[in-house]
Amino acid sequence: MLTPLIVVLVGALLAAFSAFWALRAARRAGGDAKTGRTVLLTLAATSVIALTVYLVNGRPDLPGGAYASRLEALRQRPPETYNMQDWLAVLAEDARANPRDPWPYLASGEIYLRANRPQEAARAFDAALRREPRSADALIGLARAVAGSEGTYTPEALAFLEQATTVTNEPAPWVYRAMAAMEGGRDAEAQRMWGEALARMGQDDPRREMARRFASGQPP
C-alpha cells in the first residue's frame, strides 16, 4: 500500500522525467533556452498543483477515488457490510476528527489482532495508551499484540497485564494472566490468577464456570 511520502516521491520522479523529455522535444523542435525554461516551469507548476490537490482531497494509501467521496459513500452503507479495510478507513477518519479519543485506536488494534497483524496492532494500542495512560483495554491489547509477535507471553507482555490489573477491577487482565501462566506451565500461579478473575466476575458472566473449575485445579 502506498504511503503519502512514496506518492510524493514517485510524483516527483515522474515530473522530472516528463520535464526532461518535454525539454528535449522543445529543443529538437527549434526552441531556444527561454522556451526550455518556460516548459520546465509550466511542468513543475502543473506537477505541484496536481500532487497537492490529490494529497489534500485524496488518500494515497487507499486505492482510487477521492478520499472524502469514498468515505461518504462508505458511511452510507450498513456497518455489517464493511470489510477490514473499510473499518480501518472509517476508524482512521474518526481518529483524525477526534485526535484525543483513544477509541478509534483501540478498535483498530483489535481489528489488526484478528487479522493476525500484531505489530500494527501494537502500534494502534500504543497510540490509544498515549491518549489514555490508564486504559486497561490498551494495556491488555499491547500484551496480546506482543504475545502475538513473539509467539508467547514475554516478560514485557506480562508486565502490561500486571499494570492493567492496577487500573481496573474487571476480570479481563486476570484472565489473560491466568492463560499466560497456564501456557508457561505455572499451574499454581494460574490457579491463583483464575481465582482473582472469578472474584471479579458477575453472577451472569459466562466465564464463571470455567474460572471456577480452573481456580480449583480441575482439568479443562
Over the stretch 114-159, which tens digit does the pLDDT of each residue have? 999 999 999 999 999 999 999 999 999 999 999 999 999 999 999 9
Q: Which residues contact 143 (CB under 8 A, 6 or more apart)?
A: 153, 157, 158, 160, 161, 164, 176
- 212: how many CB neighbours lie within 10 A of its CB? 15
Distance in angstroms (rounded) separating the CA atoms of residues 112 and 128: 14
Query: Can you give the residue ranges of every domain in the chain?
Result: 4-57, 99-215
Encode pLDDT of 30-56 as tens digits.
555 444 444 444 444 444 444 444 444
Q: Which CATH class is domain 99-215?
A: mainly alpha
SS3 153: coil
Closest by alpha carbon to 61, among 38, 30, 92, 27? 92
pTM above 0.85, yes or no: no
Distance in angstroms (rounded) separating the CA atoms of residues 97 and 23: 44
